[in-house]
């Protein structure tokens, strides 16, 4: 089953482009938050090194961490991770 088949009627999404731009989206989100790596580590329950990787755009948050952003900061999630954010 393809993405398009599963989400009938939805907008087509280039999943490879999404994967390529995801770390940059995360970097922009966390930089805009104004939090330091130490603060991000505490808020999201990750190591400071992981938080620094997010701030540098090496990787983005996964699983429960991105879900937390979606739940707690809906506007920020839409702005930086939504379909129109690219």
Sketch the domain layout of the chain as residue ranges.
14-85
Res. 20: pLDDT tops 60: yes
Q: Which residue has the tokens 């989100």?
A: 29
Q: What is the pLDDT of residue 61?
A: 97
- Tell me the pLDDT band of 73, cut-offs 50, 70 and 90: very high
Tokens linked to 16: 């490879």
Query: pLDDT digits over 27-69, tens only?
Result: 999 999 999 999 999 999 999 999 999 999 999 999 999 999 9
In terms of phi and psi (left: phi > 0; alpha: psi -120 to 50; beta: otherwise), the region of 57 is left
Does this model's pTM top 0.75? My answer is: yes
């Amino acid at each position: 089953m393809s993405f398009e088949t599963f989400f009938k009627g939805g907008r087509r999404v280039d999943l490879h482009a999404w994967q390529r731009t995801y770390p940059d989206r995360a970097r922009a989100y966390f930089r805009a938050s104004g939090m330091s790596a130490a603060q991000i580590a505490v808020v999201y329950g990750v190591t400071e090194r992981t938080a620094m990787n997010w701030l540098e755009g090496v990787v983005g948050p996964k699983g429960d961490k991105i879900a937390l952003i979606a739940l707690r900061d809906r506007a920020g999630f839409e702005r930086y991770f939504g379909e129109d954010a690219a």
